[in-house]
Chains A and B, each alone.
Chain A
Amino acid sequence: MRMPAPDPALIVRKDEIVRALRRIVPGEGVVSEPEGLVPFQSDGLSAYRQTPLAVVLPQTVAQVSAVLAWCQANGVKVVPRGAGTSLSGGALPLEDGVVLGMSKFSRILEVDLENRCAVVQPGVTNLAISTAVRDQGFYYAPDPSSQIACTIGGNVAENSGGVHCLKYGLTTNNVLGCEIVLMSGEVVRLGGKGFDAAGYDLLGVVTGSEGLLGVVTEVTVRLLPTPQTARAMLVGFASVEAAGECVGDIIAAGVIPAGLEMMDNPAIVAAEAFVHAGYPVGAAALLIVELDGPEAECAELSAHVVALAEARGATSVQVSTSEAERLAFWAGRKAAFPAVGRISPDYYCMDGTIPRRQLPHVLTRITELGAHYGLGVANVFHAGDGNLHPLILYDADKPGELERAEDFGSDILRLCVEVGGVLTGEHGVGVEKRDLMGEMFNETDLACQQRVKCAFDPDLLLNPGKVFPRLHRCAELGRVHVHHGRVAFPDLPRF
């Protein structure tokens, strides 16, 4: 993965840049010593590492604004960072850039239950929001597996999902407003506490923009009343096809479960060995179905789902009878990644979405590709919304295995696009899938997206090298008419 070549002229200005940042953020808010920079070298996609020039940790919106304005005036690139849990390298630093860490923005500013929302700073963790309002009977619905660590600012940047987004939506469907600071230092408020806002839906565009459009300094999230009951089921099947068909049957019956997950046998075995949740280790596929709502609804629908599962030849059905058991059912799924980490020195997680009907075909092809590359794979799958997470097993210490794993991953994502799906369902493009964007979008499509980038950040200083496979100068994008989506100079180096 190539990043934009660092600009030596900026690297030699390191001392000057650090001095300027210290004038804006005094004290320990600027990190520049090599050992202090180590924790910021990578994010959740740890295969990629770079050391930034410096890290700045502002505490006020005025400081964020001043840092960005100074960096814009001085041509210094900025990489925003929340908790650094991105799985696509969204917070990967630049050697000639500054990391803008938002960890000190960690306060919940207001809980407004009259309007069912909370106003929080971006460094608040996803789980902390739900924890703060739990006693009043509310929660924040999107629940990425990293929710104990990941921040709401990062969730907005990545439009994070989670196991409950089939019924409750992604971050974009649960955020009412935010305040962002543009690279120019201008502060802009988007949305608010109402259901919609005047003008273009820039909130919708900023959500999922991967830190390329603005730095989020405040978020207003929608809160939901906690469902009265929730019940999870584990349903084993002798084939992936049968499990996939059962998912289709559930949706066709008009049931939208709160969560609808699938794991294949390698993932079941790894998770069970790790957390002992009582998973059926002999099953070829396991569905985890969660229903929530009033007791009467859970009872009615779980009976319905059990009947559908049995009609598809389920080999085992367990329905949770207590909250402890429900959480145990989920523990295996939520720990699937670390569980796989125990059976393989390294793993590489993919994130394509496919039309669900393509599942048997796609899983068969993934198995074939695994044989071709000589690498194992475990599959966990947000089955309800078609979001696939193949975990490619490899050993980075063995020469060539990382490269093989990356090639295998790229083939899987191409396959997702080929069957009508997309490159990423919830993890983001980042650096990881950047060079695959051309599989889904042609040059015209990408030019339209980059012009939006130019409207927010005309000098391309905010998080460059992510999302877009080629960096076009904004003046060039305004002028050039991309003809029928053809790449003008396909052989030119990308950076």
Chain B
Amino acid sequence: MQDLAIRIEKPADAGEVLAIVEAAGADSRTLEIVGGGTKRGIGSARPADAILSLEKMNAVIDYAPEELVLTAQPGVTLAELERLVAAKGQMLPFEPPHLTRLLAVKGKPTLGGALAANLSGPRRIRAGAARDHFLGFSAVTGRGEAMKAGGKVVKNVTGYDLSKLLAGSWGTLAVLTEVTIKVLPAARTETTLLLFGLDDRRACQAMGLAMNAPMELSGAAHLPMAAAARKPLKGQMPVTALRLEGFEASVASRAESLAAALRDFGRAERLDAGHSRDFWAQIREVEAFQADPRPLWRISVPPASGWRVAEALEGDVLYDWAGGLVWALSEADVRPAVRAVGGHATLYKGTGAAFEPLTGALAALSARVKAAFDPAGLFNPGRLGDA
């Protein structure tokens, strides 16, 4: 194992991060930036000269539930954060997936990692992605500068929205040292309507119909036969699931209306709040596709194109985000089919280019943005591919 020989830096605060980056810059040594290290396997990273782990920077700095704002160091674990906000009747609206079992990794996913990878769960369709809740940050750039951007209030347009840029940058632009996110009140209750036996096309139609009705759907997923038959569901039929969250009377009323609207797709069964929570945790964690040796693709497409892309693939799929997110186990390259509908694919497990290669003016612009923050390429070399 290469890692044994690599130095691991574990700074305790932003000042130490700055010193490590300055020293690395002075010697042209590259750094791999990790939180809990659980997503290290994603992306074509070349070995770096040292690892900069943010695991010791795990403090919650300020949490004001009434302001819907939370500021923390990036190394705080998602598990701890979820407990903390739940104790105040709140939630992380973007429902970040942990994916440790899916990726068969040890370690604890962190807030910084979830933001850096812009990881968002089933509630994405209603509440938005991690990037939509990332209000501001402090960081150290590859130039060895401590900087900040954004703010600590929920509504702010002062200066460029660099939080969006850092979200999904996979640690290639700057090392986060403090982040501020928006939180929301947790739903009082939830329920899930289940439809059985639909093929992919019909299932996507049902999800689309539900999304197009004023139901404030907070989850829309479909497990075709192969996915439904696997653990943990071990079902006999394809399952289509639609989640409703909110206050009791509202959820009850919407569940009734939705079931009526979906009559043509069969009789909907209801999951109570507890079973609904368990079900969506399984969807969020893509549990049906754990422990499978085949390459695993995360495919993002216009929702109505989900089933068409799947049709063109060999292998097994499951759908989240009303068809807009397709998880696929496929030996073959899925990208031609995905590109054809204007989507992109990320290879979460397997060998090959992990991220969709960019081309033309967009690739050149992205390279200039990278150089603006990290001109010497100190951070996560090769992670996003060698554009």
> What is the interface of chain A, defined by CB distance below 8 A to chain B?
112-116, 137-138, 158-159, 161, 165, 169-170, 172-173, 182, 186-190, 192-205, 207-209, 225-228, 248, 251-256, 293-297, 299-301, 353-357, 382, 385-387, 420-429, 433, 437, 440-441, 444-449, 451-456, 467, 478, 481-482
Contacts and interface: CB of A to CB of B under 8 A. Distances in A.
Given A386-B155, A425-B155, A481-B145, 18 more contacts: A112-B304, A115-B303, A158-B157, A186-B365, A188-B362, A195-B129, A204-B131, A205-B162, A225-B211, A251-B66, A295-B253, A353-B155, A355-B69, A424-B156, A424-B158, A429-B159, A455-B369, A481-B144
B145 A444 contact: yes
Contact of B147 (A161, A299, A357, A448): A448
Given A195-B321, A294-B253, A299-B249, A440 B188 contact: no
A200 B165 contact: yes
Interface string B191-218: 0000000000000000010011111100
B137 to A, nearest CB: 11
B97 to A, nearest CB: 14
Contacts of A256: 184-185
B371 to A, nearest CB: 7
Given A197-B344, A204-B131, A421-B153, A296 B362 contact: no
B185 A251 contact: yes
B358 interface: yes
Given A195-B321, A225-B212, A427-B157, A186 B361 contact: yes
Contacts of A189: 362
A205 B161 contact: yes
Given A293-B250, A429-B159, A449-B162, A199 B366 contact: yes
A314 to B, nearest CB: 19
B66 A448 contact: no
B185 to A, nearest CB: 4
B288 to A, nearest CB: 21
A39 B149 CA distance: 36
B154 interface: yes
A452 B155 CA distance: 22
Contact of B145 (A158, A295, A448): A448
A195 B365 contact: no
A452 B249 contact: no
A194 B366 contact: no
A297 B251 CA distance: 8
B110 interface: no
18 contacts: A115-B302, A116-B303, A159-B157, A170-B157, A188-B361, A201-B118, A201-B167, A202-B365, A205-B160, A355-B69, A355-B152, A355-B153, A357-B67, A385-B155, A451-B373, A454-B372, A455-B372, A482-B145
Given A445-B149, A448-B147, A161 B67 contact: no
A422 to B, nearest CB: 4
B214 A449 contact: no
B342 A448 contact: no
A198 B356 contact: yes
A205 B149 contact: no
Contacts of B68: 251
B247 A225 contact: no
A217 B321 CA distance: 28
Contact of B154 (A186, A385, A433): A385
A341 B368 CA distance: 46
A254 B186 contact: yes
B131 A353 contact: no
A416 to B, nearest CB: 9
Contacts of B324: 194-195
A170 B182 CA distance: 13
A172 B161 contact: yes
A433 B158 CA distance: 9
B368 A455 contact: yes
B301 interface: yes
Contacts of A429: 157-159
A202 B165 contact: yes
B269 to A, nearest CB: 21
A294 B250 contact: yes
Contacts of B300: 194-197
B47 interface: no
A353 B253 CA distance: 36
Given A169-B132, A293-B250, A452 B160 contact: yes
B156 to A, nearest CB: 4
Given A173-B128, A451-B372, A452-B165, A208 B157 contact: yes
B66 A356 contact: yes
B381 interface: no
A387 B69 CA distance: 14
Contact of B185 (A255, A353, A386): A255
B253 A297 contact: yes
Nearest to B325: A195
Contacts of A420: 152-153
Interface in B38-89: 64-69, 89
A254 B188 contact: yes
Contacts of A192: 302, 342-343
Contacts of A252: 65-66
B146 A444 contact: yes
A481 B143 contact: yes
B303 to A, nearest CB: 6
A375 B159 CA distance: 29
Contacts of A228: 214
Interface in B108-161: 118, 124-125, 128-129, 131-132, 141, 143-149, 151-161
A354 B152 CA distance: 9
B257 interface: yes
Given A296-B252, A426-B155, A198 B355 contact: yes
Given A204-B165, A355-B67, A196 B185 contact: no
A209 B160 contact: yes
Interface string B272-316: 000000000000000000000000000011111100000000000
Contacts of A208: 157, 160-161
B146 A254 contact: no
Contacts of A444: 145-147
A317 B373 CA distance: 53
A426 B154 CA distance: 11
B270 interface: no
A293 to B, nearest CB: 6
Contacts of A385: 153-155
Contacts of A182: 361, 365
